[in-house]
Structure 1
């Protein structure tokens, strides 16, 4: 699928984290983004919380959510009993999250100034590809307490071929100049897993973490035609299309879902690269 996979599985690259125009396009319709985007498996949240011991045995974990967006993951960690601070460069997304009771500071993670604050966990939900991979890992080490956890995770978006292929064809036709239009309709899971392995390698190379782990969670969600067409405009391949281009793509995908009876089941895989902060002295912040 040409629009969704590029949001998380691509290995962090200079061209990716400098593509600010795409990154900033998600806040155009923050309400739709929050409504349509899926949350994260409860088992993932539980595992992160359980593996992130609080300072001095405290019951409440202090969590930093990097690129928190509208607060989808942050609200899940708050529901799990954590104190959550969001770091979000888009003021529109930050305002939406604040309106739902979250604390958010507007900055990129690299430029964020934590002062002397330390945290039990740093998480990045579907956002680490917008962060400089080396500076981000070192910054996470700096703000984590010894024994704290860095967890970078996101979804594999690969709908059935009956939905993905009409989307790819419509995108090539409606937006031939889009960088997403020449991509394959679907990509194998192994490419996503390899990307997370590279994230784990970057974490390992800081020398500030124990050996990283990779986690996997498989789950399903059923989508109606309207639900999927609500989600598509929030994805990186479509956020910057002109209205007429977007309408053409949505019409094609809607017709494909109609041919399936008006709904389909999306098989999700959520992948994570995660590591525990060592007890060594804090890393230098390169920013």
Structure 2
């Protein structure tokens, strides 16, 4: 676990602006991004779970699975273009951010951030999660990450994995100083995705580093990356992924 003590408003605004880039490709994001495995939800979500607050809900990819595990799901998302795609039966969509959660004090059994915690300013997000959790509630954080198992995966995902500095790298849990939480628990799950080569290239195009390229540069980049894929005769590619999960119990005031 690493702790990040940067809580400046300017930092929060910058991170929010970068994360809003996903709105430009909201439909593609929803189509190509992969949900966290159900086994991870089994491990992260306490039972019974009356109310869960999801931070950075995006287009609802993870939200839909959360509705299986909780009586009430509050999906918090700042980007209007992402919210427009996030239509999930059984979930209530709220306008807000991880640094300013529109939920009352002690109103949640679980606060969860899936593929999103690295975008949030600290310690603001940690403090807000602590505020809305009941004592004994759980903060859960998880990411789906490409497994860099061989040369082609390292090269294919290089633009994504090299983009974040060590203190904000996806998979690393960042908490604000003196956060009222118990010792974090950690679990890793590995799985394989079999998709067409075109689908893998489309998935790569939904990452912020690629979205930020100008259209010509992005097209040329994705063409080059496609050449790296070990395509089977049937046009399919097998790639391994890792889901990194954290859960932390709120200790109360």
- Scaled by the length of structure 2, the TM-score of the pair is 0.83
CA distance in 2, matches of 1:147, 1:40: 24
Q: Is 1:71 aligned to 2:60, yes or no? A: yes
Determine the structure 1 residue equivalent to 2:249: 276
Q: Is the 8 A contact 1:10 1:195 kept in 2?
A: no
Q: Is the 8 A contact 2:76 2:94 kept in 1?
A: yes
Residues 17-56 of structure 1 aligned to structure 2 (within 5 Å): 17=12, 18-49=14-45, 52-54=46-48
Deviation at 1:139, TM superposition (A): 1.1
Q: 1:218 to 1:243 in 2, by over 3 A?
A: same
When the two structures are aligned, how many residues end up with a matched partner? 245
Q: Deviations over 1:234-255 (max 9, x none)?
A: 1121011111111101111222
Q: Is 1:106 aligned to 2:95, yes or no? A: yes
Structure 1: where are the runs of 5+ without partners?
1-8, 55-59, 169-179, 185-190, 282-287
CA distance in 2, matches of 1:101, 1:218: 29
Q: Is 1:143 aligned to 2:143, yes or no? A: no
Q: Secondary structure in 2 aligned to 1:89?
A: coil
Q: 1:206 to 1:11 in 2, by over 3 A?
A: closer
Q: 1:94 to 1:156 in 2, by over 3 A?
A: same
CA distance in 1, matches of 2:95, 2:188: 30
- Scaled by the length of structure 1, the TM-score of the pair is 0.74
Determine the structure 2 residue equivalent to 1:91: 80
Q: Is the 8 A contact 1:69 1:93 kept in 2?
A: yes
Q: Is the 8 A contact 2:106 2:131 kept in 1?
A: no
Deviation at 1:263, TM superposition (A): 2.8
Q: Is 1:221 aligned to 2:193, yes or no? A: yes
Deviation at 1:157, TM superposition (A): 2.0
Choose 1 or 2 for highest CA Rg. Answer: 1
How large is the Cα RMSD of the aligned pairs? 3.1
Q: Is the 8 A contact 1:210 1:276 kept in 2?
A: yes
Q: 1:119 to 1:195 in 2, by over 3 A?
A: same
Q: 1:235 to 1:114 in 2, by over 3 A?
A: same
Determine the structure 1 residue equivalent to 2:144: 155
Structure number with the higher helix fraction is: 1
CA distance in 1, matches of 2:172, 2:156: 31
CA distance in 1, matches of 2:32, 2:248: 30
Determine the structure 2 residue equivalent to 1:241: 213
Structure number with the higher strand fraction is: 2
Q: Deviations over 1:84-116 (max 9, x none)?
A: 111111011112113666311112121233235
Query: Which segment is superposed worse, 258-267 or 62-71?
Result: 258-267
Q: Deviations over 1:111-147 (max 9, x none)?
A: 2332356011000001111111211111111111122
Q: 1:28 to 1:77 in 2, by over 3 A?
A: same
Deviation at 1:182, TM superposition (A): 11
Determine the structure 2 residue equivalent to 1:285: none
